[in-house]
Amino acid sequence: MNSMIKNKLSIGIPVFFLLIFSACEDFLEKNPQGQQSPNTFFTSEENVERAVFATYNTLLRWELSAFPYLGCNSIISDDADKGSTTEDGPSQIEMDNFTFNPSNPEIFGWWSGNYFGINRANQVLDNIGAVEMSEESRNRFTGEMEFLRGFFHFNLVRSFGGVPIRTSVPNIDEYSIPRNTEEEVYEQVTTDLSNAIEKLPLRSELGEEDLGRVTKGAAQALLAKAYLYQQDYQSAFDLFQEVIASNEYALFESYADLFTPAGHASKEIIFEMFATATPEGGVGSQYNQVQGVRGDLNRGWGFNIPSDALEGAYEADDPRREATFLYAGEITRDGFEVPDVDGIGAYNQKAYRAESEIVNDVGNGGGHLYHIRYADVLLMAAECANELGNSTVALTYLEEVRARARGENADILPEITETAQAALRELIWKERQVEFGMEGIRYFDLIRMDAKQPGYASEQMAIHGKSNFDPAVHFILPVPQQEIERTNGVLEQQPQY
């Protein structure tokens, strides 16, 4: 993480932000002595910016980068298995085997973590209007919070369908509200991201000290992705085209190096979770630790390991397989042999941290989690172009991604020339699987792909042997039981659970 952002995240995060309620937490009846309230805190532009960075800091939380994130985004997919030892992590075993129920803690963590982020964004948006500052700063801070609020709601609607929409910090009598419909949540996501697009700067307008903050391109890409999930291919394609035509982004030259510190904040990365391992802590995450190599190398716990199904998805000699799989017996990029322990044959190479990148403790991780890459924009644009009947443009964007993976080896990954819509659709989908293996994209891809082509997700899960998967049940997660009980049943459970 660049030093300016690191410092803003790590110094003086307001006490009331550390105590702010999530969707499952109650108001404290009394504030601890010395704690600042929103009324006394939001008095200057500097403090507003501190609150903005406190909201970015939410992305580093355990719920949004470690077990709940991995369980609900990756381990649940056909690309990954739970890992670790056979009996370790029972809640993750449930996610892997599709035996989870409304009491699963990973599902609750994913729900509450996203609402925690929404509430932090709402703290800023509720209070910024009364603070004196330049219009430029006001627009930027507001746009950043609208983007993040849209992002967190997008996570929730993809996972749970209709959820309660939060556009302000609720009073104590406003906790127990029913779920909005899925369509209403997408409307809110669209509103927030559309507003953010109008306020945020381009990437090229950021100073070096601000790389990592969200931009107009990030809002355009995320909104286009939301349109894609609703099968609004034209709206999605138009926005993807704007991102591409802006020339603000480009593919990183080396696919493998993209997942090392060299790739952080590069022009390929449109939106990422910034993390930095520092002696004082506070701006790292456990994203790397929970996926790290077990045994004598002692880089982590060995959860979220790549599956045999993912390994079999790569074409012959595709370099992306090696960049994604870190095999037992392999020599790491910093010169260590990966031990063969607990029956784990391979780890997530993209989450590996070298010895020099760990400060004090492996739990204080500095690995970045990429939420949107330029390659994602290219392949989503290709998918939209194909659905709109423009195979020429679809093949052009598909080839850009394959050419980067191919590098200088012309004997691998031949250029795709298929123009039949159904066949090209599946080739683009397969390209997404190998391009984004172990990046937390696959399961949500399967959900929307199955909506377009019923049976596709079941077919892919069967390749991996996940026999408990039932699309009629598992395409949305259950509402956490804690939330239903806390609202005295105002929040109703999904009918299939």
Of 236, 313, 276, residue with least CA distance to 2: 276
Torsion sign over Cα 181, 183, 184, 185: positive
Q: What is the mean pLDDT of residues 378-383?
A: 98
pLDDT of 64 higher than 70:
yes
Is the distance from CB of 99 to CB of 145 less than 8 angstroms?
A: no
Kindly state the DSSP code that residue 75 receives in the 8-state scheme. I
pLDDT of 40 higher than 90:
no
pLDDT of 10 higher than 60:
no
DSSP string covering 209-267, please?
GGBTB--HHHHHHHHHHHHHHTT-HHHHHHHHHHHHHTT-----S-TTGGGSGGGTT-T
Domain residue ranges of the chain, discontinuous segments joined by +: 3-200+476-486, 287-367
pLDDT of 18 higher than 60:
no
Q: What is the pLDDT of residue 373?
A: 97
Tokens 């330029």, residue located: 374
Kindly state the DSSP code that residue 351 receives in the 8-state scheme. G
Distance CA 43, CA 47 (A): 7
Burial class (CB in 10 A: 0-12, 13-18, 19+), 257: middle
Is the distance from CB of 403 to CB of 275 less than 8 angstroms?
A: no
Of 219, 76, 78, residue with least CA distance to 140: 219
The architecture in CATH of the region 3-200+476-486 reads: Alpha Horseshoe (1.25)
H or E stretch covering 306: strand 303-306
Is the distance from CB of 292 to CB of 285 less than 8 angstroms?
A: no
Distance CA 364, CA 277 (A): 5
Check residues 390 and 295 and name the one with the higher pLDDT.
390
Q: What is the pLDDT of residue 27?
A: 27
Is the distance from CB of 368 to CB of 273 less than 8 angstroms?
A: yes
The model's confidence at residue 282, banded by pLDDT at 50, 70 and 90, is low
Q: What is the pLDDT of residue 285?
A: 83
Distance CA 255, CA 234 (A): 30
For the beta carbon of residue 364, count every other beta carbon within 10 angstroms.
Answer: 22
Distance CA 317, CA 406 (A): 9
H or E stretch covering 269: strand 269-273
231-266, pLDDT tens digit by residue? 999 999 999 999 999 999 999 999 999 999 999 889
Q: Which pair of structure tokens corresponds to residue 33?
A: 């002595």
- N residues, the chain: 497
Distance CA 86, CA 322 (A): 25
The model's confidence at residue 23, banded by pLDDT at 50, 70 and 90, is very low
Terminal Cα-to-Cα distance of the chain (whole angstroms):
41
Tokens 């004997």, residue located: 411
Q: What is the mean pLDDT of residues 32-46?
A: 73
Of 441, 459, 476, residue with least CA distance to 80: 441
